[in-house]
Amino acid sequence: MIPFVLGEEEVVLGFSLIGVKGYVPLGPEEAVREFSKALDSPEPTLLLVTEQVAHWLTPELRNAVLAGALVQVIPGLTGPVRRREEEEALLFSALGIKV
């Protein structure tokens, strides 16, 4: 499995120090293009996407995860964004968890 990171310049640089390749998209169009390119790789890929870039890729991320892609959203430079309660409820509902 090959890890690949999409995110801010500092995050991609940090991951490159441990040998993980990545890309710094400058906008939503670049993010979608690189995300699709990484998913189309012949090798199984673990995609690490920062929250900022994930915001640009919302529909693509959802479709990729539902199709079985290994995608993990990670905090960016500003730290984790607090999830809204509706998003948490949706996640728990999808997983069949009642709180």
Boundaries of every domain in the chain: 2-95
**pLDDT at 36 exceeding the cut of 80:** yes
Helix axes 58-66, 28-39, angle to 10 degrees: 10
Who's near 15: CB < 8 A, 6+ residues apart? 3, 5, 22, 48
Which helix or strand (DSSP H or E) is residue 21 part of?
strand 21-23
Question: Which pLDDT value is given to residue 85?
Answer: 60
Convert the pLDDT of each residue in 41-51 to its tens digit: 888 889 999 99
**Residue with more model confidence, 90 or 96:** 96
CATH architecture of 2-95: 3-Layer(aba) Sandwich (3.40)
In the numeric block, the tokens 């892609």 are attached to 69
pTM > 0.75: yes
